Amino acid sequence: MPFNHKHLLGTQFLSPSDITTVLDTAESMLEISTREVKKVPALRGKTIINLFFEPSTRTRSSFEMAAKRLSADIINFSKETSSTVKKESLKDTVLNLEAMNTDALIIRHSSSGALHFISTFCKSHIINAGDGAHEHPTQALLDAFTIRQEKKSIEGLRILIVGDILHSRVARSNIFLLKKLGAEVTLAGPPPLVPEEFKKFGVDIDFNLDRAIKGADVVMMLRIQLERQQKNFFPSIREYRNLYSLTTKRFRLAKKNAIIMHPGPINRGVEISADLADSAKSLILKQVENGIAVRMAVLYLLLGGKEREITD
């Protein structure tokens, strides 16, 4: 099935068949990273800019590697060393970079919807690498890819997402995507961080982790985002740990062959115990590895081939 999108702004705009196209393409890309020459010429001559207004280790280097393995040229931009510190506006920064004839901009920004705003005036392909608490589509796609790799199919799986749902763009992108592929999604965490409004996305909410984890196929832990937590959403880290940390004992309540996922970076000993994070049940590093193949697929599907009739 063709992938008819100009931008990748969020998983909410993708159809189930779009998602399957990305995952199938990523399946083919996986092998390239195991070759001796880890490079194919598919995007030769394309220019991509990594535009990160927020810090990142995994996503930025993963996109950079993905672009390089497809032979595209990629430039890294970070907020601290740019004219953003001289108060240049977001729009001006983007327009100036685009004037250098870019083909795609991979952007992370702290404001939800910043990417949508940029897509209204930008001619390049826009790829969302995380916008505020809105979406982080490639993370959800690589999570789905990793789940599919382990469990063959996503339909009908019981997937539990635990932690700071309120501030999490990863959670939103995952909820949209997993529901589209027919999973049953449950959210767990302290009530102030798990808003009731999420029920409208068709998910269940349970504030009691010991109850929610029973029978889960996949347990997805989220990072406690201390940088976004100006208000006190829970009394103390210690209390959070007692109620919501994934420990070996708690994990025994999930299905026997359940798997653990985490988008990183992990706070060891807070949302997940260190021994569990390093255990064979944890796919955290597999997610990172798969991330490159998934991002190669996204770049290829958006940038490969002729400018098409675009429907979105």
Partner 1 sequence: MEEKIKARVMDSRKIKRAIQRMTTEIIERNRNLTNLVIIGIRTRGIYLGKRISKLIKELENTDIPVGVLDITLYRDDFSELEAQHMVKKTEIDFSVGKKDVLLIDDVLFTGRTIRAAMDSLIDLGRPNSIQLLVLIDRGHRELPIRADYVGKVLPTSKREIVHVQFKEIDKSDEVLITEPAEIK
Q: Which residues bind partner 1 (CB under 8 A)?
A: 2-3, 21, 24-25, 27-29, 31-32, 35-37, 39-42, 70, 297, 300-301, 304-306, 308
CB of 304 to partner 1, least distance (A): 6
Please spell the DSSP secondary structure of 81-134, one letter per residue: GSGGGGT--HHHHHHHHHTTT-SEEEEEESSTTHHHHHHTT--SEEEEEEETTT
Residue (141 or 213) nearer to partner 1, CB = 141
Residue (32 or 246) nearer to partner 1, CB = 32
Residue (34 or 257) nearer to partner 1, CB = 34
What token pair was written down for 239?
């209390």
Quick check: helix, strand or coil at residue 72? coil
Q: Order across the sheet with 104-109: list the strands.
A: 73-78, 47-52, 104-109, 125-131
CB of 26 to partner 1, least distance (A): 9
What token pair was written down for 28?
């083919």
Q: Which amino acid is at 151?
A: K
CB of 31 to partner 1, least distance (A): 6
CB of 129 to partner 1, least distance (A): 22
Residue (17 or 248) nearer to partner 1, CB = 17
CB of 27 to partner 1, least distance (A): 7
Residue (4 or 56) nearer to partner 1, CB = 4
Residue (103 or 271) nearer to partner 1, CB = 103
Residues near 103 by Cβ (< 8 Å), separated by ≥ 6?
A: 46, 47, 48, 72, 124, 125, 303
CB of 305 to partner 1, least distance (A): 4
For tokens 């992990």, the residue is 266
CB of 66 to partner 1, least distance (A): 13
CB of 306 to partner 1, least distance (A): 6
What token pair was written down for 64?
């950079």
Long-range residue pairs from 63-69, CB within 8 A, at least 24 positions apart, any chain? 63/106, 63/127, 63/129, 63/138, 63/295, 63/299, 65/292, 66/292, 66/293, 66/295, 66/296, 66/298, 66/299, 67/43, 67/299, 68/39, 69/29, 69/32, 69/33, 69/38, 69/39, 69/40, 69/292, 69/296
Backbone angles phi, psi at 162, to 5 degrees: -120, 135
The span from the first CA to the last CA of the chain, in angstroms, equals 16
Residue (199 or 308) nearer to partner 1, CB = 308
Do residues 300 and 70 lie in contact, with contact meaning Cβ atoms separated by under 8 Å? yes
Residue (194 or 294) nearer to partner 1, CB = 294
CB of 91 to partner 1, least distance (A): 29
How far is it, in rounded angstroms, from Cα 173 to Cα 106?
Answer: 17
Residue (21 or 59) nearer to partner 1, CB = 21
